[in-house]
Amino acid sequence: MTQYWVIIPAAGVGKRMQSAIPKQYLTLNQQTILDVTIARFLTHPSILGVAVGVSCDDEYWPLSEWATHPQVIRYDGGKQRADTVLNGLQVLQAVGIDGHTDVLVHDAARPLISHSAITRIVEHKGEFGALLAVPSKDTLKLANDSSCSQGTVDRSVIWQAQTPQKFPLGALLEGLSTAMEEGLEITDESSAMEQLGWQPTLVEGESTNFKITVPSDLLVAEALLASKAFKGQQESE
C-alpha cells in the first residue's frame, strides 16, 4: 500500500477566531484542535508521517501529545500559509522524499476530517493532482463594497475547496515558488498549480470537514464531537 506524508500548516494566529491563543491550540473534548487533526491522519493506514509547521516562537507545540512522536516532524512555518507549506515541502525534500512522490497538505484547523475522505483523496489516481471540495449548496451572490447584491452566480460550477490537497512534491514546490515569486496571492495549493496549467480533480469532500475559523465554528465542532451519531461514524471507519 502506498503511504503518504502530510504537511499540516499550523503556524497561523487565528485572527478571525478572536481568541487569546492561536486557534489550533483551542480544545475540543480536552484535546487541542491540532492534536485532533494529527491523530486523524496518524491513525489512517495510508499515512506515513506528518510534518507540522508551527510559528518559530510557538510555545504551545512542546505540550502536544505528538511533540516527540517518531512519525512527526516539527518545522518553522512562515508569514503566510503558502510560506508554511513551502517550508514543509523543503523539509520533506531534505529528508529524502522524491520529487515525484505525492504529498498531502491539510489545514490544522480542519480536525473533523474523516478516514473515508482521507481514503478518497489518497486513492484518487490522476496526473494533475486532487483536492477535497464540496459543491456549493447555497445561492451565491456577487456583492459590491456596500455589501449589496450585484447579481447571482451560477452555483452549478462553484465548489468550495477543502483540504487535503494532493500533488507531487517537486511540482508543488515549483508551483508555489513560481506563484509567490510572481506576487500572486495563493490561498491554497491547487491555485498555485492552476497557474502551471494543471487541472486538479475535485474529489468529494464533506460538510463536516469545515475549517474552524470563527467562534461559531468551534461550537459546531464541539456539538458534532459530542454527538453519538458522529462519533459512531468516525469510530466505524
Ligand X SMILES: Nc1ccn([C@@H]2O[C@H](COP(=O)(O)OP(=O)(O)OP(=O)(O)O)[C@@H](O)[C@H]2O)c(=O)n1
Cell 511540482 belongs to which residue? 171
CB of 199 to ligand LQXTBERG, least distance (A): 17
Contact 75, 53 (CB under 8 A): yes
**Interaction of residue 11 with ligand X, rule CB under 6 A:** yes
9 binds, among ligand LQXTBERG, ligand X, none (CB under 5 to 8 A by kind): ligand X
The partner in contact with residue 58, picked from ligand X, ligand LQXTBERG, none with C-beta cut-offs of 5 to 8 angstroms by kind, is none
Contacts of 10 (CB under 8 A, 6+ apart): 24, 34, 37, 52, 53, 54, 77, 84, 108
Collect all residues with Cβ–Cβ distance below 8 Å to 74 and sequence separation of at least 6: 51, 52, 54, 61, 67
| Separation between Cα atoms, residue 220 and residue 112, nearest integer Å | 11
**57 phi/psi in degrees, rounded to 5:** -105, 25
- The least CB distance from residue 187 to ligand LQXTBERG, in Å, is 4
CA distances from 99 to 26, 84, 130, 220 (A): 35, 18, 17, 38
Residue of minimal Cβ distance to ligand X: 12
Question: Pick from ligand X, ligand LQXTBERG, none: which does 161 bind, CB < 5 to 8 A by kind?
Answer: ligand LQXTBERG
Residue closer to ligand LQXTBERG by CB (options 16, 231) is 16
> Does residue 211 belong to the site contacting ligand X (CB under 6 A)?
yes
x/- string (CB under 6 A) for ligand X, residues 161-200?
A: ----------------------------------------
Binding site for ligand X (CB under 6 A): 9-16, 23-24, 53, 77-81, 84, 107-109, 211, 213
